[in-house]
Amino acid sequence: MYSNQSYTPTDVTIKPRNRQHDLAAALQLDWFGGDVFKTAWFNAMSITFPLGEGFFIDSVRHFAGQVTDPALQEAVRSFCGQEGFHRREHQRYNETLCAARGYDLEALEAPLRRRINFGKKHLPALQRLAATAGVEHITAILAEHLLADPNTLLGADPAVAELFRWHAAEEMEHKSVAFDVYRAVGGGEKMRRVALRRTTVLLLLDILRGVIHMLRRDGQLWKPRIWWSGAVFLFGKQGVLRSVWKSYMDYFREGFHPWQQDTRELLVRWQLQQG
């Protein structure tokens, strides 16, 4: 007999979509409507994805043999499929971007690569899974904001916007998989909360480091108006990080589960827009 371990709603399908995106023309420019900071922020996020998603896949797969619920077993397979396609597309994105703009991809990836290698060598597998569940929460709430607010990508190049919307939708579909595996193998409340705090700081530092690298290479680093526009974009009245704060903090509640934040309506809307 197996116990129910998957808490993804039964009407949500975690479907790997093998999509390819031609971004070469867009990535030569400040593709977010000419906005230097927004372009650099999204580009810096993309830099973190290939290594990060490889880590997530490995962290979840490590425990796949301990999952007894067929529904969660299938969700794990689909999670790995989706993350694998995300990893491939963002690797292409990053290589194209850095070749076009003169950014140093090896230097951009180096701190995250070192940290992942350190974690694999020194951290228990359950702690790595807790970190994965934490980052998956961050990506899920950012994905919800991106798909819920049409202004989030207003002015962005259509091809790049489509990539981020596709990525966001699939992040919402599989948002509870790592969390459910963590809980199924005995992960506790304290570890998952600590992991979210730690991964939040490290992820923000990775993105900020990327933004600084790109702005420096573009000769834009010391322009106050760019940093002011960035502060408004992130922390203003409709700012991205300000908008997701409540959803972020929900993770620290006792008994939290990602699908308590029900985003099925957004997924249906996105699927209908696909035609």
Q: Is 6 part of a structural domain of the chain?
A: no
Q: Is 132 part of a structural domain of the chain?
A: yes
Give residue-wise pLDDT tens across range 85-118. Answer: 999 999 999 999 999 999 999 999 999 999 999 9
Task: Report the CATH number at residue 44.
Answer: 1.10.620
Into how many domains does the chain fold? 1
Relative orientation angle of helices 177-184 and 125-148, to the nearest 10 degrees: 150
Q: Is 44 part of a structural domain of the chain?
A: yes
Between CA 186 and CA 271 the distance in angstroms is 35
Residue 273: name the closest of 174, 192, 153, 181 by CA: 153
Domain containing residue 234: 24-113+121-273
Q: Is 14 part of a structural domain of the chain?
A: no
**In terms of pTM, does the model score above 0.75?**
yes
The alpha carbons of the chain give a radius of gyration, in whole angstroms, of 18
Helical spans, DSSP H, in 67-124: 70-101, 105-122
In this predicted structure, what is the pLDDT of residue 273?
A: 87
Which residues of the chain fall below pLDDT 70? 1-3, 275
Opening angle at CA 228, ends 50 and 109, nearest 5: 20
In this predicted structure, what is the pLDDT of residue 73?
A: 96
Q: Is 1 part of a structural domain of the chain?
A: no
Between CA 93 and CA 87 the distance in angstroms is 10
